[in-house]
């Protein structure tokens, strides 16, 4: 086997102008330039994108799903949603 495995990269693709880049998957490459070239061949063979971002997987920090209270605070704050308020139909769209 090889002495050293090529690092893993996460690939993000903007499918068309005006949209966010969205995670498409991952791949191995020696550096960012190769990661972008490989991403083009692996993830955009059918015009799926107009722009590609790559980032080495080890640089991504993720929240811990075991930490159950992470999103608790937001759950109780239903008054942040417009539907929380009763506004009469007569006044028109608001």
Partner 1 sequence: MSPEILSLEERFQSRIDAEIKIEPKDWMPEKYRKTLIRQISQHAHSEIVGMLPEGNWITRAPSLRRKSVLLAKVQDEAGHGLYLYSAAETLGISRDELVEQLLTGKAKYSSIFNYPTTSWADMGAIGWLVDGAAIMNQVMLTRTSYGPYARAMVRICKEESFHQRQGYEIMMTLAKGTPEQKAMAQDSLNRWWWPSLMMFGPNDAASTHSAQSMKWKIKRKSNDELRQAFVDSAMPQVEYLGLTVPDPDLKWNEERGHYDFGAIDWDEFWSVVKGNGPCNRQRMRTKQKAHKEGAWVREAAMAHAEKRRQRAVEQDEKVA
Beta carbon of residue 74, minimum distance to partner 1 (angstroms, whole number): 19
Strand pairing class (51-56; 8-14): antiparallel
What whole-number distance in Å separates Cα of residue 58 and Cα of residue 14? 22
User: Which of 19, 22, 37, 42 is the binder for partner 1 (CB under 8 A)?
Assistant: 42
> How many alpha carbons fall within 13 Å on the CB side of residue 59?
9
Beta carbon of residue 91, minimum distance to partner 1 (angstroms, whole number): 40
Please give the residue ranges that form the binding site for partner 1 (CB under 8 A).
1-6, 8, 25-28, 30-31, 34, 41-42, 45-46, 62, 64-66
């Amino acid at each position: 086997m090889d002495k050293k495995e090529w690092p893993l990269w996460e690939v993000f693709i903007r499918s068309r102008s005006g949209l966010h880049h969205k995670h498409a998957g991952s791949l191995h490459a020696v550096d960012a330039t190769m990661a972008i070239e490989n991403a083009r061949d692996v993830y955009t063979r059918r015009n799926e994108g107009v722009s590609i971002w790559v980032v080495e997987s080890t640089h991504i920090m993720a929240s811990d799903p075991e930490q159950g209270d992470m999103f608790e605070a937001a759950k109780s704050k239903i008054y942040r949603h417009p539907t929380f308020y009763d506004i009469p139909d007569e006044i028109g769209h608001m």
